[in-house]
A = this chain, B = another copy of it.
Amino acid sequence: MSAPTTAREVRDLVADLLARHDPATTERTAFLNARWEAGLAWVGFPVGLGGLGAPRALQQVVEAELAAAGAPDNNPRRIGIGLGMAAPTILTFGTDEQKQRFLRPLWTGEEVWCQLFSEPGAGSDLAALGTRATRDGEDWVVTGQKVWTSTAHTARWAILVARTDPDVPKHAGMTYFVCDMTDPGVEVRPLRQITGEAEFNEVFLTGARIPDAHRLGEVGDGWRVAQTTLMNERVAIGGREVPREGGMVGVVSDTWRAHPELHTPEALDRLTKLWVESEALRHAGTRMRQQLAAGSPGPEGSAMKLAFARLSQALSGFEVELLAEDGLRHGEWTMFRPELVDFTGRDAGYRYLRAKGNSIEGGTSEILRNIIAERILGLPSEPRVDKDVPWKDLPR
């Protein structure tokens, strides 16, 4: 069978799947596994790995048809790290065995993934990380501390970067692994945020064992493998179509409409300005998707992440200020582990505080500006002091 290239061919395959597995009567996981076997999980993936080797753009057709038929999905928000970061990395760098073992339950959601990259001492400077992995027979033994790990407490597997050679410059001495989160050497502790809740975790690795068969890529090649992961993370941002007033601007505009007694001319102009920028950001997203569809992806995603963070912070800050007497009050500070995170959910105070993270998570706005300046505008890099020094000799 040659790969389908038209929407019509894909629609036929979906119809066939639906004919064989009626979503109304098929158990959810069974349906998802059948979908996987039909190559309709991610049609751009190879045959045998949930795909058809088809153009990625056809995936939209699959999703639309299945949604129309009321088929269950794999709850992509719940398994975002697996789908968005682990899967493309495994596909690019994994062995055949690794692909066969990991991708299917990753996609069906039977196994949740998390990401063990950041450390307390290695945030923006990921390559400075100090979690050590030392070889012991067929295994690696891993010791260190990771942080900002979402879904660590529900995850079965983690993608992990660790230092395997401290005697070479920092970018050269890292290796990339798949870590079993059920290993007794792995301890997960919730990390409470300024919102009171704990979306993220700290993960303490104390002699955790990883078989060498779970290494992704070559020993010492961890930086390059991690770049693939992070590039896919960036692509994932801003990918969805957003209706006008989608997101924070809609929430805050509704607050405005609900409270005429709080209106002032100054506040109206500020809100309108933010509305304008939000609408322009929406246009930028549309334009980016159209470029992608036309086969000429641009670097505009970086601009969108910067603008998104700035606007969500400005809008949510505006809302608290506008609410004044009510802005002084808060819903709750209770510590809990949320299932899913909705930046625009809960109350104004939560939105304001949570939005502060938007310019830090997934690459700080400062690092993003460096990247834009150097990679997009071609401005020269600053003098580097950490390029040629063995990792162990770096000041920290």
Contacts and interface: CB of A to CB of B under 8 A. Distances in A.
What copy number does this chain have within its complex?
Answer: 2
A383 B269 CA distance: 44
A383 B268 CA distance: 46
Contacts of A339: none
A97 interface: no
A19 interface: no
Contacts of A268: 265
Interface in A255-274: 265-266, 268-269
A385 interface: yes
A382 interface: yes
Contacts of A265: 265-266, 268-269
A389 to B, nearest CB: 13
A267 to B, nearest CB: 9
Nearest to A272: B266
Contacts of A383: 382-383, 385
Contacts of A269: 265-266, 269
A207 B362 CA distance: 60
Nearest to A267: B269
A265 B269 CA distance: 9
A360 B148 CA distance: 43
Interface string A376-396: 000000110100000000000
A245 to B, nearest CB: 22
A64 to B, nearest CB: 44
A269 B264 CA distance: 11
Interface in A79-99: none
Nearest to A266: B269
A268 B269 CA distance: 11
Contacts of A385: 383
Interface in A338-396: 382-383, 385
Contacts of A266: 265-266, 269
Nearest to A265: B265
Interface in A43-93: none
Interface in A190-211: none
A158 to B, nearest CB: 36
Nearest to A268: B265
Contacts of A382: 382-383
A265 B265 CA distance: 6
A139 to B, nearest CB: 41
A382 to B, nearest CB: 7
A321 to B, nearest CB: 14
A369 to B, nearest CB: 16
A396 to B, nearest CB: 14
Q: Which of A266, A382, A383 has the most CB of B within 10 A?
A: A266
6 contacts: A265-B266, A265-B268, A269-B269, A382-B383, A383-B383, A383-B385
Top 5 closest A-B pairs, CB basis?
A265-B265, A266-B269, A383-B383, A383-B385, A265-B269
Given A265-B266, A265-B269, A269-B269, 8 more contacts: A265-B265, A265-B268, A266-B266, A266-B269, A382-B382, A382-B383, A383-B383, A383-B385
